[in-house]
Amino acid sequence: MSCPQCVGADQVFSGFYVARELRSYRRKGPRATTTMLVEALKAEDIEGFTLLDIGGGVGAIQHELLRAGVSRATGADAAAAYLQATREEAERQGHAERIEYRHGDFVQIAGELESADIVTLDRVICCYHDMEALVNTSAEKARRLYGVVYPRDVWWTRVGNGFLNFFFWLLRNPFRVFVHSSCEVDALVRGAGLQRLYTRMTANWQVVLYKR
Ligand SMILES: C[S@@+](CC[C@H](N)C(=O)[O-])C[C@H]1O[C@@H](n2cnc3c(N)ncnc32)[C@H](O)[C@@H]1O
């Protein structure tokens, strides 16, 4: 990977951190905002649909949707340790043969990936510097549904991100987190031909589902 942000993500999302996330998913299931997105997707008729899950972490969306009728999934992630964890969990749940795994910066490898009925980015837009390229490239891949979880652009998420970025700077890690403009994200997704179908807000996050 040539993008320093993704090299940094590969270092941040590794070892102990990923093992802890996997333990947490096995004990408690998906986090609250992931569950909101999964439930909104399940409310649509997704039987037999394909899924492209970008930056899927331990693969919570992949596992939940494959159990809910999705036929096949592709997990594309910049963090190799997360892909390994997703694979382990898919084997444990018995659907590993229905998932394809791709390691890399999605923006760079997008040309090699097929479109899917559902595209998801759960807490990924905030982990990438070039929001416009990530949103445009991923929205183009969504044949029917496009689901995102990303930070609300309010002062307290910006302050929180400032602390996190100071911490990464201290560690000499090039990874940074971002609060991108909600209006700009929404305009790009709509510009790609998708309409907003569902929105939920928590204190820090927004969960949005779009339909083509
Ligand atoms: C904060 S984690 C979220 C993981 C999971 N979706 C969740 O909500 O628990 C961000 C994930 O996005 C991935 N990521 C960020 N930018 C990416 C890119 N351009 N291409 C592929 N994966 C990316 C990271 O490697 C990481 O797995």
Range of the domain at 13: 4-211
Sheet containing 116-122: order of strands: 99-103, 72-77, 50-54, 116-122, 142-151, 205-211, 195-201
Residue 25 clears pLDDT 90, i.e. is over it: yes
Output 87 or 7, whichever has higher pLDDT: 87
Q: What pLDDT does 2 receive? A: 75
**What are 181-209's pLDDT values in tens digits?**
999 999 999 999 999 999 999 999 999 99
Q: What pLDDT does 8 receive? A: 87
Q: Would the pTM count as exceeding 0.85?
A: yes
Report how far ligand 1's centroid is from the alpha carbon of 37 (Å): 16
For the chain, the domain total comes to 1
**What are 133-190's pLDDT values in tens digits?**
999 999 999 999 999 999 999 999 999 999 999 999 999 989 999 999 999 999 999 9
- Summarize the confidence of residues 48-77 as an average pLDDT: 97
Pocket of ligand 1 (CB under 6 A): 6, 9, 13, 34, 54-57, 76-79, 82, 105-107, 122-124, 127-128, 134
Report how far ligand 1's centroid is from the alpha carbon of 69 (Å): 24
Report how far ligand 1's centroid is from the alpha carbon of 106 (Å): 10
Backbone angles phi, psi at 200, to 5 degrees: -135, 140
- CA 72 vs CA 91, 133, 164: distances in Å: 14, 25, 35
Looking from the CA of residue 61, the nearest atom of ligand 1 is 6
| Atom 11 of ligand 1, nearest CA residue | 55
CA distance 209 to 212: 10
Looking from the CA of residue 10, the nearest atom of ligand 1 is 25
Q: What pLDDT does 14 receive? A: 86
Q: At what angle do helices 32-42 and 60-67 cross, to 10 degrees?
A: 30
What count of other Cβ atoms lies within 10 Å of the Cβ of residue 108? Answer: 15
CATH of the domain at 65: 3.40.50.150
| Atom 12 of ligand 1, nearest CA residue | 55
Residue 11 clears pLDDT 90, i.e. is over it: no
CA distance 185 to 194: 12
